[in-house]
Amino acid sequence: MMISRYRHLIEQLGAHFSLPLQGSLHQATTMQVNGVELNLYHGGLIVPDSVLLYCEFGPLPRLQREQVLLRLLETNMYLFNANCPAFTYQAQKDSIFLICRFSLSSATLESTLELFDFLVSLALRWRRDYYLFGEDEAGI
């Protein structure tokens, strides 16, 4: 059953990061990697061979919010596909998340850590200039 694969992966991640994660108790798990929050959810009955991963990029800036949100919408356009990541906004936290889904049947500890490293690097990069790349950063 796929939930057992998910729980095993969570236990491996817990051991790798020295976190008290016991996969047998979790269908949802939160962890921090280099100051970036990652939330993992088992796909459940609808998509049991999957993990839904939320990577918190951080709060929107107080200034230039519209410009930053437009850049994220533009980025979503380039990412658009049935199995591709997407940016989303969580109003309760006033924060941007990149969400993606990955297959449990092909996931290993190494491939998951590689995905974490990639997403964390994207989040840390976004926190520097919100992907505006020097376009009038004075107001950020």
User: Is the pLDDT score of 136 beyond 60?
Assistant: no
Q: What is the pLDDT of residues 90-103, one digit of tens each?
A: 999 999 999 999 99
Q: What is the pLDDT of residues 53-103, one digit of tens each?
A: 999 999 999 999 999 999 999 999 999 987 899 999 999 999 999 999 999
pTM here? 0.90
Direct distance between the N- and C-terminal alpha carbons of the chain, in angstroms, rounded to an integer: 48
Q: List, in sequence order, every beta strand (DSSP E) within the chain.
A: 28-33, 36-42, 50-59, 86-90, 95-103
CATH architecture for segment(s) 2-139 = 2-Layer Sandwich (3.30)
Any idea what DSSP says for residue 22?
-
